[in-house]
Amino acid sequence: MKKILVLYYSRTGNTERMANAVAKGAKINDNIAVELNFHVEPQDLSSFDAIIIGAPTYHHEMPVDFKNLFEEAAVAGISLKGKEGATFGSYGWSGEAPKLILEIMKNKFQMQVTEPPLLANYLPNEKTLSACEELGKKVAENLLNPP
């Protein structure tokens, strides 16, 4: 059984809609378990084979919860090396957060990342929600059949 975490933050529900679609797409069969959550402890990260993070951009930054999560995971020496990683998020005009998180996954934690991040301008439309499902599916398929 492979485990996928879909971790997200959302103040007005836009990134949450994306997260629901990513989680739905990731559940491709009974060999994949998907946890959709808005908070985990740094040590919880070790138990997942893939970590997909949904982050809206506020003030050109990622949510402070995710900054703290990564800083604490680094300080605690938690290894995420080789795990699958992907990011997505809603934005208004600049959309830095998913890119910043993907950079940390790749450069600090040496995760296998799916690039580029998936962005939705404000409320995700049907096309973007389909792309979210595809992103979840792709990560799940990578776990079952490594590229």
Ligand X SMILES: Cc1cc2nc3c(=O)[nH]c(=O)nc-3n(C[C@H](O)[C@H](O)[C@H](O)COP(=O)(O)O)c2cc1C
Measured from the CB atom, the residue of 10 and 20 that comes closer to ligand X is 10
Q: Does 11 bind ligand X (CB under 6 A)?
A: yes
* Region binding ligand X by CB under 6 A among candidate stretches 8-16, 23-31, 98-106, 107-115: 8-16
Q: Does 13 bind ligand X (CB under 6 A)?
A: yes
Residues 54-83 close enough to bind ligand X by CB under 6 A = 56-60
Q: Does 125 bind ligand X (CB under 6 A)?
A: no
Measured from the CB atom, the residue of 82 and 92 that comes closer to ligand X is 92
Number of shown-chain residues binding ligand X (CB under 6 A): 18
Chain length of the chain: 147
Residues 22-61 close enough to bind ligand X by CB under 6 A = 56-60
* Region binding ligand X by CB under 6 A among candidate stretches 7-15, 68-76, 79-87, 132-140: 7-15
Asked if 43 contacts 79 with a C-beta cutoff of 8 angstroms, the reply is no
Interacting residues with ligand X (CB under 6 A) = 10-15, 56-60, 90-95, 122
